[in-house]
Amino acid sequence: MSEALRIGMDIGGSKTAAVALDLSGAVVASTQLLTERGPDGVLDTAEHAIRELARLTARSAREFASVGIGIPGQIDRELGVVRNAYNIDVARLALAELLSESTGLTVTLDNDVTAAAIGAAHLMGLSGTVAYLNLGTGLSAGFVVDGAPLRGSHGVAGEIGHLAVDRLERPCPCGQRGCLETVASGSALKTYWPAGGDHPGRILLSAIAAGDAEARTAFEYLVRGAANCVRLLVLALDPHTVVIGGGLRLLGDPLLDGIRTTLDEWSAASPFLTELQLGERVQVLPEDSSAAAVGAALAGIS
């Protein structure tokens, strides 16, 4: 009999990453496909990913031990239902039940950022309390405490992007104004630097290197916002490590250096902050890791 493998999936707004993990938690197969939107499309995408992993691991799809799915939106883990996942055009979908019916496998759901926190802690070998800061189009965080995800009583733990902080009071998709998400996220970067187009993070560093002053200022605003998020997470949870992930992690070492320098500047003026050793807690997720898919597999029941 072949070894039991767990499937993990990260269903995102444009792409879906899927992995198969062995019992030790190592990735033995991975694939990526475009996400089809809407309830039927998301279900099709998940089924397609399972068939592809079955092909890659030379087994029948029914032989997998479990399927864990990380997906944006509000998750009811008990019912296996995702709600309000607007970037994949899903208002409500009983994804766990439907996918389980069509594949015969045990399926569990998790919020994508919580899944990424679990995956990052595993892939980076982090113990203790880990806060994962997702700097994507939006802004949110996920938590792992001594190896266990912290989801909160209503699955809202980590939605720090909607703390209103900015006196410029830019409108936020949540209906409030001046949210942290409007100062530290991919969408914030777009407003700081409209010339950067739809994916400003991809060209920001090269524009700065070419002497673009507006790009430099946008980067500085973004760094300050991200440093503020790190400070918030440390004050709220006192984690051993804050991992920076999400699309803007591609800014890599310049982002990490900028955040640490900013935290050091704030700490120089505050004995209280100095004690917290903020900069030493921050790391950036390695760029090629499928943290959310791996974390979803680990959180799946098997």
Residues that bind Zn ion (CB under 5 A): 162, 172, 174, 176, 179
Nearer to Zn ion, 87 or 176 (CB): 176
* Residue placing its CB nearer to Zn ion in the complex, 233 or 294: 233
DSSP string, 26-49: -EEEEEEEEPPPHHHHHHHHHHHH
If you count them, how many residues does the chain have? 302
* Strands ordered across the beta sheet of 241-245: 148-150, 139-145, 129-135, 241-245, 282-284
Residue 233 beta carbon to Zn ion: minimum distance, rounded to whole angstroms: 17
- Cα–Cα dist 206/71, whole Å: 32
Minimum Å gap between C-beta 140 and Zn ion is 10
Instruction: Tell me how far, at minimum, the Cβ of 136 lies from Zn ion, in Å.
Output: 14
Q: Which two tokens stand for residue 295?
A: 């974390």
Q: Supply the minimum distance, in Å, between the C-beta of residue 186 and Zn ion.
A: 14
Do the beta carbons of residue 111 and residue 72 sit within 8 Å?
yes
Residue 189, helix vs strand vs coil: helix
Q: Which is nearer to Zn ion, 226 or 273 (CB)?
A: 226
Alpha-carbon gap, residue 233 to 29, rounded angstroms: 34
Q: What DSSP state is assigned to residue 198?
A: S
Decide whether 176 or 302 has the Cβ nearer to Zn ion.
Answer: 176
Residue placing its CB nearer to Zn ion in the complex, 110 or 181: 181
User: Residue 181 Cβ, how far from Zn ion at the closest point, in Å?
Assistant: 5
